[in-house]
Structure 1
Amino acid sequence: MTPMQTLELTETNYHRLLKRQIRKSLPPDLAEHPDIQDFLLAVNQAYTEYQDDLSRMELILEQSSGELFKANRELSRIAQEKTEEAALTSKRLEEVVGSISEVLVQLDRDGNFTYLNQAWESITGYPVSASMGQSFAGFFPTAEAREKVTEILSQETEGKEETLRIYTVGGQEKWLGVSLTPYFSNGQHIGFTGTLADVTARVTAETKLKSYTRDLERINAELDQFAYVVSHDLKAPLRAINNLSEWIEEDIADMLEGETKDQFRLLRGRVHRMENLINGILSYSRAGRMKTVKEKFVIRGLVDELCESFSTKKPLSFSIEGDASMEIEAEKIALTQILQNLVSNGIKYNDKDEIRISVGWKDLGKEYEFHVGDNGPGISPEFHERIFVIFQTLQARDEVESTGVGLAIVKKILDEKHSKIRIDSVMGVGTTFYFTWPKNEAKDI
């Protein structure tokens, strides 16, 4: 039934009942009076307006209820989606935490476990559920490890790291990298958070490396001793040959003539060359391995001292290029050895009437660069690598006496420093050697 039909029925009932009451209560002439009729019409109009307002209110209420129901249904859907998303996120977070190889740990103030992820069981074999509430220190078998744990837990202001030995459920020895930091709530220290990492592989590698280092140091010491003994034993007969040749020459001096006398000089020259080669081998074997103390020094002072130590029959001049006040911290002996060999090489093989040597340095930021140049004959490109091989020389030893060890020593020292050397040469004009020197050398193990 529509609102209008309800209104019409109500109006019909209303008029019938109202007229009956008027007839019963008023005289007939008064009941039919026009004023009474106007009154009835006014009442009817008011009642009609009331019914219209009520119908509109019911319609609005019905529409509002529908919208509210739709909104409530949408909110329910959104709440369900968010609940599912939160559950999925929580599950993913649990999977991520469970897949972490490090143990995420939380301890109370007394050092008992209040949180552990699955990595604890993966590393130690102890179930997470059974470990909760247990004392962290109780899982370490040695008194030393437990004391270190106690020391860590005594820190209430800053974190600390330790490497501790632990045994798994199966009795396997492992090493844990322990990193714990105090945490607070409302300004009160309530426990510790941190990580426990399985560092067994690292500790094992470090132990092996230390063992290898000790063995290497022992072998190097034995090699040094061997080289010294061998060089001494080889030099002894050489000196004997040299002395015998001198004695024989003295005894038969009146019988020696021309070619025979030259052969005796050639014999002693070969003996001296052999002795120099032995010394060169000894120097090469020690190059780069003999650790010297680092010291601070001004480069210009080192170069000035070096230049003053050279002398030759030909006129010799030096050109110094670099910051005169630059100070570095390095192994002075090793750097001096390199510069000395390069300068000596530039003088020894120089074919000019007047020898000119240049020495320079500059700061490249992460490293230094040095150069040593000469005005000699130059070095052909095909020999730029070969000259750094031990005993290799570009001229016959009868022309220029040389062991061919100097540049090999230079290369070996620079290789130890992870530095580089290069050559810039023009045939007939000269050669310049450039090499780098590290500012921060790798620390010895």
Structure 2
Amino acid sequence: MPTLEITDVNYHRLLKRQIRKSLPPELAESPEIQDFLLSVHQAYSEFQDDLGRVELILEQSSGELFKANRELSRIAQEKTEEAALTSKRLEEVVSSITEVLVQLDKSGNIIYLNNAWENITGYTVSESLNRNWMDFFSDSAEEIHQILESDLQTIEATIKIFTANKKEIWVGVSLSHQYAGDQHVGYIGTFSDVTERINADKKLKSYMRDLERINAELDQFAYVVSHDLKAPLRAINNLSEWIEEDISHMLEGETIDQFRLLRGRVHRMESLINGILSYSRAGRIKTVRERFVIKTLLDDLCETFSNKGTVRFNLEGNLDLILDTEKITLSQILQNLISNGIKYNDKPEVEIAIGWTEDATKFEFYVGDNGPGISPEFHERIFVIFQTLQARDEMESTGVGLAIVKKILDEKGGVIRIESKMNEGTKFFFTWPKNEIKDPEASLKNNPFQ
């Protein structure tokens, strides 16, 4: 290997400095030293290259990490702002809730309340936290103890409380047990001000008592009035019969008809009084619910009208249908409709069709006849009390039967309608709820004929 001078080789700068500093010229020119120095020089160069590459990689990684860190910081900022906004909205929602949101520990100490507590009771949230809720419901301590000992998952109660200004209010309590694993740790639920509802219920009960008393007085009054009205009518009827017997040898032609007409008017007046009594009691007199087969009811009705001349009944429905309802009241409706179909029938043979179906909430009945039919303009009028389509001199009628039917159905939540063609007959359809509907608006919504 040729001998090289130190200056002939471009050694690494650190190596060159060390050679100049440490080696005498004669040693630096030794071939072995030259080989060694060249190897060190090569190692320095490779190290310098590797270091450069590492620095480049570190620089690139540092840039990427900086960008990633900046992106993470931006995302974290956005999430923080979103969380703050969500928290604010949640606080606004909780603050706007009119019910008190409450959390208690297992001893009944208050852990959490929202602002509705202050609005309802007048006590601030800060002064109420960490206090036992029995401090505020002290007049109902026994009831509260029973609530906390209840095994029900959700506890419902209405408890009296005095507000901060000593005003008495009623609070509806709804609490559920809270568990951490298998361990019972407390309760969570709501308090709500139900004072208006409680007061309304008290007023309603008071009104119901007054109404029951008034109804009883009206029944007594109607009974007395009817008795007092019927007494002179019976006297008139008896006197007319006695007079007719006493002067029967003097009566002839038109005079006899006048006496007969007089007694007819007396009987009509008595029927009207009875009709008014029946109408006033319709729907108010509660009858017992019974469980019965429809066939038994219809057999009784058919037997009742079997002596009304030539009447043929057609039953169109499931004869084994079982009803659980007020049998007497339903029978009264069917009896009035059947009687109406027979009384006003103009055919030599009367045909009465009775049909029925059911669904989940109601039964639907119809009573049809083969009579003269009813003109559409009278379909509503016939349900008005004392309204008849024929003059009473032609057909004795009080005009109360269909009015009673309409009143009973209105009370029970049922509805009635008519289908009729002149000279072909009439069908009365009515619905009979399986469960009585007290709300007239609900009855209107459930009207299948609208």
Q: TM-score, normalized by length of structure 1? A: 0.91
Displacement after TM superposition at 1:159 (Å): 3.1
* Stretch of structure 1 that moved more, 49-58 or 275-284: 49-58
Q: CA deviation at 1:173?
A: 1.8
Structure 2 residue aligned with 1:92, among 89, 92, 96? 89
- C-alpha contact (below 8 Å) 1:141/1:167 kept by paired residues: no
Q: Give the root-mean-square deviation of aligned CA atoms.
A: 2.1
Superposition pairs of residues 32-111 of structure 1, within 5 angstroms: 40-111=37-108
Per-residue deviation, 1:82: 2.0
Relative to structure 1, the CA distance from residue 225 to residue 9 in structure 2 (aligned partners, 3 Å threshold; closer, same or farther) is farther
Q: Which amino acid aligns with 1:49?
A: E
SS of 2:141's equivalent in the other structure is helix
CA–CA distance in structure 1, aligned partners of residues 392 and 342 of structure 2: 16
Where structure 2 has 5 or more consecutive residues not aligned to the other structure, the ranges are 1-8, 440-450
Give the C-alpha shift of residue 380 in structure 1.
Answer: 0.6
Aligned mates of 1:160, 1:365 — CA distance in 2: 32
Partners of 1:440 and 1:188 in 2: how far apart?
Answer: 44
Residue of structure 1 in register with 2:442 after alignment: none
SS in structure 2 at match of 1:395: coil
How do 1:273-422 and structure 2 match up within 5 A?
273-312=268-307, 314-422=309-417
Please give the alpha-carbon distance, in whole angstroms, between the structure 1 residues aligned to 2:306 and 2:286.
30
User: How far off is 1:55 after superposition?
Assistant: 1.3
Question: Aligned partner of 1:420: which letter?
Answer: V
Contact 1:155 1:182 in 2 (8 A): no
How far is the alpha carbon of 1:67 from its aligned partner? 1.9
Q: Residues 399 and 112 (structure 1 numbering): CA distance in 2 closer, same or farther, change over 3 Å?
A: same
Counterpart Cα distance in 1 of 2:181 and 2:352: 74
Q: Separation in 1 of the partners of 2:258 and 2:58? A: 133
CA distance in 1, matches of 2:10, 2:124: 81
1:107–1:193 contact (8 Å) kept in structure 2: yes
Cα gap change, 1:393 to 1:42, in 2 (>3 Å): same
Q: 1:156·1:182 contact (CA, 8 Å) conserved in 2?
A: no
- Structure 1 residue aligned with 2:185: 190
Question: Tell me, what secondary structure is at the counterpart of 2:170?
Answer: strand
* AA aligned opposite 1:48: S
Change (3 A) 1:431 1:16: closer
The residue aligned with 1:18 is 19
One-letter code of the match for 1:285? S
Aligned residues: 431
Q: Could you tell me which amino acid in structure 1 is paired with residue 291 of structure 2? A: K
Contact kept, 8 Å, 1:180 with 1:195, in 2: the verdict is yes
> Secondary structure at the residue paired with 1:365?
coil
Q: Distance in 1 between matches of 2:366 and 2:17?
A: 128
Alpha-carbon distance in 1 for matches of 2:40, 2:286: 121
Q: Deviations over 1:93-115 (max 9, x none)?
A: 22221211111111222222121
Map 1:146-295; keep pairs closer than 5 Å. 146-155=141-150, 158-295=153-290
Contact 1:314 1:353 (C-alpha < 8 Å) held by counterparts: no
SS of residue in 1 equivalent to 2:292: strand
- Identity across the alignment (%): 67
8 A Cα contact 2:27 2:33, kept in partner: no
* Deviation larger for 310-319 or 240-249: 310-319
Change over 3 Å in CA distance of 1:258–1:133 after alignment to 2 = same
Task: Tell me the alpha carbon deviations over residues 376-407 of structure 1, each in whole angstroms, 9 at most, x when there is no partner.
Answer: 11111111111111111111111111111000
Q: Within 2, Cα distance between the matches of 1:156 and 1:283? A: 52
The amino acid that maps onto 1:77 is R
TM-aligned CA deviation for residue 141 of structure 1: 4.9
Distance 2:11 2:104 in 1: 79
Distance 1:192 1:15, change over 3 A: closer
| Partner-residue secondary structure (3-state), 1:404 | coil
Structure 1 Cα separation of the partners of residues 95 and 342 of structure 2: 70
Summarize deviations over 1:175-198 as a string: whole Å, max 9, x none: 100112222223222222111111
The answer (yes or no) to whether the contact 1:231–1:278 under 8 Å persists in 2 is yes
SS of the residue corresponding to residue 115 of structure 1 reads strand
| 1:318 to partner: Cα distance | 0.7
Matched, 1:113 2:110: yes
3-state SS of paired residue (1:422):
strand
In structure 2, relative to structure 1, the CA distance for the partners of 1:180 and 1:316 (3 Å cut) is same
CA distance in 2, matches of 1:47, 1:13: 9
Q: Closer, same or farther in 2 for the Cα pair 1:313/1:168, shift >3 Å?
A: closer
For residue 123 of structure 2, give the secondary structure of its aligned residue in structure 1: coil
Distance change >3 Å, CA 39–CA 358, structure 1 → 2:
same
